Structure 1
Amino acid sequence: MDPNTPPRNALEIADTLLGAFATAPTAVISDNLDRLPGMVGLRPFHRMERQMVGRALTVRVPAGDNLYIHKALGIARPGDVVVIDAGGATDRAVIGGIMMEIAQSRQLSGYVIDGAIRDLRDISSNDFPVYARGVIHRGPYKHGPGAMNVPVTVGGQVVQPGDIVVGDEDGVVSFSPAIAEDLLAAVRAQEAREEEIIRSIRAGTYTNAYTKS
């Protein structure tokens, strides 16, 4: 596979539809994915001021090694979310403040890492999205091997190259662009239902549909 031409899902959606997920809560997205997909065990380490949304540039690395993350930054395109399968290891960081700055300068949308980070002071004071499993002072090796634009497993979820990745305070979900249009419609419909429930609660007219008589 030519690393200079990252593969994209043939059903890659328009940027306008991708942008619509920037206001879609991950909890509601999860509800409309049967509450099954989703990355477990990761949390945000950045200053939470905006939602993360973008297309997955996937990377697989050995535990504690970031050579192929550097390679991925060399081919990443604006809007990409770098999704890193580092085996869930938290005894050695695979990115830190410098790699956050590189990604931000190249207008990427964030990092999602099944592994650890370091330079927490720099990352936590910045609003560039960084989701990971843990933090540690120990730095990475740069020996390889690794792979880019291959299916990866992050937080128990398989992520394909080009999948849509959304992250907020509650966590991270991903899904195929092939279902994005229908999923967005379902998300908006649920948001409308929930807004109506909130209005009825505040008006004192709410009836709990799950309460048996």
Structure 2
Amino acid sequence: MTQTSGSPITEAVRGDDDLVEQFTRTSTSIISDNLSRLPGGNGVRPFHRIEGVMAGRALTVRVPAGDNLFIHKALELIVPGTVLVVDGGGDTARALMGEIMATIAEVRGAAGVIIDGAIRDAGTIGRSSFPIFARTANHRGPYKHGPGEIGVPVSIGGMVVRTGDIIVGDEDGVVAFDPAIAADLYAACLKTEAMEVEMIASIRAGTYKGAYAAH
């Protein structure tokens, strides 16, 4: 069910900025390792110029194949730090977003956009550092008929995302998780990073004795 600004949907996207921001200092691979390597948006990749790690709170949208009417509606609900997460069913026959809609999202304070489908204006988006993740690019434009849903659980490349989830994206893709586990998860990520630093140092020093690589 779609709701308007000031609704529980909008409030679910608001949260502890510091809790979210700390995940810009790690990576999707480290996060994934500490989530039993289970969640991840398979097939979704970055189209923007990478200048760091994207992290924000998900605002979810589900649309029919090739139709972006409810993405336009969701743009009206963006608050700073929102990651707009669009379940387009993985369909790539028509683009669901291009430069204009991406600019609207950026100007309104979004942390990024994830499309389980296609985008267009890939050249312009590729020169921008505003995070846009999608399956592919296609110049064919979308329909604007609906229906659609905002604020419902969606699937992005097999990964379930709920409005309010923390979602992180980098060169390797995207991963999402419940904010309730964020503090413990980040502590575990720091331990994994420290272990990997030691491991790489021992490999370079010729003292690594592991039976197999960790990754």
> Residue 202 of structure 1: CA displacement?
2.1
> Residue 13 of structure 1: CA displacement?
5.4
**What TM-score comes out, normalization by structure 2 length?**
0.93
Aligned pair count reads 210
The residue type paired with residue 47 of structure 2 is: F
CA contact (8 A) 1:83 1:113 kept: yes
Q: Secondary structure at the match of 1:30?
A: helix
Instruction: Check 1:156–1:190 CA distance in 2 against 1; reply closer, same or farther (3 A cut).
Output: same
Instruction: Check 1:121–1:36 CA distance in 2 against 1; reply closer, same or farther (3 A cut).
Output: same
Alignment partner of 2:190 out of 180, 188, 191: 188
**What TM-score comes out, normalization by structure 1 length?**
0.94
Match of 1:121 in 2: 123
The residue type paired with residue 4 of structure 2 is: P
Cα RMSD (Å)? 1.6
> Residue 8 of structure 1: CA displacement?
4.9
Summarize deviations over 1:34-71 as a string: whole Å, max 9, x none: 01111101111111112110000000111111111011
CA contact (8 A) 1:78 1:108 kept: yes
Q: List 4+ stretches of structure 1 deviating above 3 A.
A: 7-10
Q: How far, CA to CA, are the matches of 2:190 and 2:204 in structure 1?
A: 21
> Residue 19 of structure 1: CA displacement?
0.7
Identity %: 58
> Which residues of structure 1 form unaligned runs of 5+?
none
Q: How does 1:1-213 map to 2 (within 5 A)?
A: 2-4=3-5, 5=7, 6=9, 8=11, 14-210=16-212
Q: How far, CA to CA, are the matches of 1:156 and 1:190 in structure 2?
A: 25
> Residue 94 of structure 1: CA displacement?
0.4
CA contact (8 A) 2:96 2:117 kept: yes
CA contact (8 A) 1:200 1:206 kept: yes
